[in-house]
Amino acid sequence: MSQWDKSEVQSVSADITDKPNALPAEYFTDPDVFEMEKEKVFGQYWIYAGHSNCISEPGEFFTRTVGGRQLIIVRDHDGDVKAFDNVCAHRGSKMVEDTPMTDPGNAKRIKCPYHLWTYDLDGNLQSTPKSFEEATLNPDLEDEEVHEFDSKENGLNDVHVDTIGPFIFVNLDDDPMPLEEQAGSMKEDLEALPLSEYEHARRIVSEVECNWKVFSSNYSECDHCQANHQDWVKGLQLAESELEVNDYHWILHYTHKEDVDDEMRIHDEHEAQFYYFWPNFTVNMYGTADGYGTYIIDPIDKGRFQLIADYYFKDADLSEEDEEFIRTSRQLQEEDFELVERQWQGLKTGALAQAQLGPNEHTVHRFHQLAQEAYNS
């Protein structure tokens, strides 16, 4: 039940059919929780980094910040994708400038501009300037006494990388669970689709005034759709739709009244499919055009996040149908932004200590369980 008194707050219920407790409100509003999430959530789970089609050639790279750490995602000379902290092994300088996936850089080597330490695409130290080989300015040290920098021991700090189809994921943990374990059946589902054949066509980035978990919770249910997405639901048969919950992902299956010819189908020719992958990645197949979208729900601080929406089609030159796909997606985003910012205004007053969930919010319940499990780990 809803709690107005903080002393009555309980843990997220084990089963939504028992006491359908939501995550206590303080876990949305407390700045210390946001700092904890950098380690407990974004520091131990697999996080979506970007699309492999955007770095198709050796030397192409982009940067991505996860859990407060900026990473370099690069394709090496063997064609493999690697990830490294964007931090020089010499004295900790940031090396490359912020580089979005949609406008990747290209480099044969990774060079730190501070003291020109240079690394190969496997992260090994390749060279240092002559000043690191000779003690010219140090009267207490002879040149032959200068120690040699081992290429591997002084290499970049590498980060675990794995993929689902063209989707690149990174994990900051020293010993993470396998990506296939976290992804479950989603991996097989998505790899059965021709996702790699689609080109990146559009990116829309929005800054929203609310905690990232508020938006994630809203995305994960459709009880709000009838009242707030009226244009979209006209084409759906909501009574025949389904919200499927798995360990670390859930799927929103929406049944369309009419069919469209596209290849982004797994279960049913009349079905739109929205995948949410804990903690902050979605894959969206609307069932109204031959394409798909992804969202990164990227936290900025406790009260702001960026929604990074990317769209993929068979041809980067968009048809009217493709443009309509993006317009529909954008309309749903803007309608949701209004909802979640309103919820955030209420939550941050501190009046409500703990919300409750409805019977069709079992996907939200699972999201809140995972957040609580991460905090307690």
pLDDT tens-digit map of 22-73: 999 999 999 999 999 999 999 999 999 999 999 999 999 999 999 999 999 9
Topology given in CATH for the domain delimited by 197-376: Naphthalene 1,2-dioxygenase Alpha Subunit; Chain A, domain 1 (3.90.380)
**Rounded Cα–Cα distance for residues 154 and 151 (Å):** 6
* Domain extents in the chain: 47-163, 197-376
Task: Tell which wins on pLDDT, 149 or 217.
Answer: 217
pLDDT at 19: 78
pTM for the model: 0.94
Report the relative pairing of strands 304-313 and 291-301 from DSSP bridges. antiparallel
Residue carrying structure tokens 């090496």: 76
CATH of 47-163 given 2.60.40.10, 3.40.50.720, 3.40.50.1580, 2.102.10.10: 2.102.10.10
pLDDT digits (tens, 9 = 90+) for 83-119: 999 999 999 999 999 999 999 999 999 999 999 999 9
Side-chain half-sphere exposure of 96, counting CA atoms within 13 A? 27
Mean pLDDT for 223-246 is 86
pLDDT at 319: 92
DSSP per-residue string spanning 111-179: E-TTT--EE-TTS-EEE--GGGT--TT-TT--GGGSPPPPTTTTS--B-EEEEETTEEEEE-SSSPPPH
Q: Prior bond to 279 cis, omega within 30?
A: yes
pLDDT confidence bin for 135, thresholds 50/70/90: confident
pLDDT at 267: 47
From 101-110, 213-222, 250-259, 260-269, the region with the lowest mean pLDDT: 260-269
pLDDT at 36: 97
pLDDT at 149: 80
Cβ atoms of 252 and 273 closer than 8 Å: yes
pLDDT at 20: 85
Instruction: Please report which helix (H) or strand (E) contains residue 204, including its range.
Output: strand 199-208
DSSP per-residue string spanning 249-281: EEEEEEEBSS----S--SS-TTEEEEEEETTTE
Cα four-point dihedral sign 119, 120, 121, 122: negative
pLDDT at 241: 81
pLDDT of 337 over the 50 cut: yes
pLDDT digits (tens, 9 = 90+) for 3-17: 999 888 999 998 888
Backbone angles phi, psi at 333, to 5 degrees: -60, -50
Distances (CA, A) of 133 to 90, 92, 128, 155, 256: 14, 20, 8, 17, 68
Side-chain half-sphere exposure of 102, counting CA atoms within 13 A? 12
Task: Tell which wins on pLDDT, 316 or 324.
Answer: 324
pLDDT at 142: 83
DSSP per-residue string spanning 290-327: SEEEEEEEEEEETTEEEEEEEEEESSSS--HHHHHHHH
User: Percent of the chain beyond pLDDT 90?
Assistant: 77
pLDDT digits (tens, 9 = 90+) for 265-298: 444 455 789 999 999 999 999 877 889 999 999 9
pLDDT of 349 over the 70 cut: yes
Instruction: Please report which helix (H) or strand (E) contains residue 245, including its range.
Output: strand 242-245
User: Percent of the chain beyond pLDDT 70?
Assistant: 96
Q: Distance from CA of residue 225 to its chain's centroid?
A: 24
Tally of residues, the chain: 377
pLDDT at 266: 47
pLDDT at 270: 59
Angle between helices 362-376 and 31-40 (to 10 degrees): 80
pLDDT at 251: 95
**Rounded Cα–Cα distance for residues 337 and 332 (Å):** 9
- Check residue 325 and give left, alpha or beta (phi > 0: left; psi -120 to 50: alpha): alpha
pLDDT confidence bin for 150, thresholds 50/70/90: confident
Q: In degrees to the nearest 10, what's the CA dihedral of 23, 25, 27, 29?
A: 150
Residue carrying structure tokens 């069932």: 287
